[in-house]
Structure 1
Amino acid sequence: MPERISVSLYEKNRGQRNVEENSDNYKILRYPCSSSIQTCTPYVVSLSRGTYQLELFGASGGFPNNDPKLGGHGSYTKGNLVVDHDMKLYVYLGQQGKLNGPRTFNGGGRGSANAGSGGGSSDIRLIADQWDNFESLKSRIMVAAGGVGGHLHAYFYTGTHGGNLTGVDGILTSDPSCNPIGPLKQAYGATRNRGGIGGIGESASGKDGKFGTAGDPVPSDYTSGGSGGYFGGAGSSISRCHVGIGSSGSSFISGHKGCNAILNTSTSQDNIHLSNQNIHYSGIKFSSTIIKS
């Protein structure tokens, strides 16, 4: 009996099904909603018994100068899943960041006049709800982090790319003719255990990332937020002489060596309990896994 995959939208009034179907057993799901709004809907993927290869790409960050190469690219995840009874998975695709954009669907931080917003992560869940509902976030069994937005500060700079087990630290851009008057630290990337740490400026700091959501940057015309992820990246800061780019989120696959799965006892983004094991509390796990930044 051939393996079968059926795909529909969870909320049909919020998007348009955008699926490339090469055969009954091979589907490519694309972002189903308008890029001009920050709400969207997941796909419902119904699987019958069989073995499936599932892949995700995190969304890229926004970019200045109409140059997509300046947006950090999202992470890539892949794994094989054995399904022994009919089941439904919910696939949330991250929204691409935009120059001067607001927070993106599925966890990216906001941008500014000269910097792109962070790309949302893409993930597979066992529970469908609003993307930031904690019980839904907690049910993620695969997550590909998004990329961070690029920015313009005298020169054009590429945003940091999505992370693997750990996110990528943000970078600092500087005016070489300027003498700084206070400390500045770049935003640090998320890890398998925590969100990214916001960049430190002379008078304010970027926001830290949390489980499933990135932090926003210090308000400015040049700073950028972090990208979405298992744990989200952090927002950047600014000083008289330096501007930071946000950091990226981390990725996750249940069953992947080195990942740290959440426990079902976790109750909120501020009350996270980790198992120090790589298998999701549901027991669902993937084999032959790959995570690439």
Structure 2
Amino acid sequence: MKKPKQKMIFKILIATTLIALILVMFDCRMVVRRYEINSPKIDTPIRVALITDLHSCKYGKNQTNLLDAIYAESPDIVLLGGDIFDDDIEDTNTELFLAGIYDRYPCYYVTGNHEYWSGQAKFSAKIDILNKYNIVILAGTSEVVEVNGESINICGVNDPDAYMVEIDSETDPQAYTDAQNQKEVTFVQQLDNVSSISENGNFTLLLSHRPEFFELYTDYDFDLVLSGHAHGGQCRIPLILNGLYSPDQGVFPEYAGGRYEQNGTTMIVSRGLARESTWAPRIFNRPELVIVDIT
């Protein structure tokens, strides 16, 4: 009589373990990811909230789940690192999110590729929403910002796919090809322009959607680069695989998510907040709100 009971208990344990594993694998609850950056250029700590790759996804009624998480962290500044809008999903959820932060924190934004993939009319509508909420748009520009008595430089560059908003590959294939060939040159020109502000000696932060250009970023005097785009490599295996696939990096992306250091520059890559809009499920890869304490 004992053996049937033991078999039943064993089967229950196996089933419970499999169910638990599946729940953990596909867990899409948002997590808060924290980083600390130490710099001799900073005397008074500054807390930054980084939001990337929201893709107009829903986080509770009126975005309260996301907003409450940000409020609880009391950031000094909010940085929007691209693809907070989507090219297919309506802008409603993103606008609700912006409405909840614009009058609480200084907010700075750079474009991602999906904003441009929307086409000129929809892209202009997204910019109108940002302007409605007084979000500072950094488009190959930089600003000296006063935070907690500290002066820091915040630089931002357009996504390299900016050319796609105005050119149709079907109606004007040659112009499309020319723009593709020119896009990295234009991107470098933006970096050249914004990086010159670092000559003032302040802590200099670059907000750029694309992490795959990290080696290029390290050619400049940026202390910190904040990025997204990779969606955490979509699928992860904890302690073994940091990411399976990322746009523009391909299989086993080097910069899928986390912290990277090179030549005195730190880059933090957010795994983003996209959920229902992703082309494949997130596996062991929870959406994240990134909090960076600069001390």
Higher radius of gyration, 1 or 2: 2
Output the TM-score relative to the length of structure 2: 0.24
Output the TM-score relative to the length of structure 1: 0.24
Structure with a larger share of its residues in helix:
2
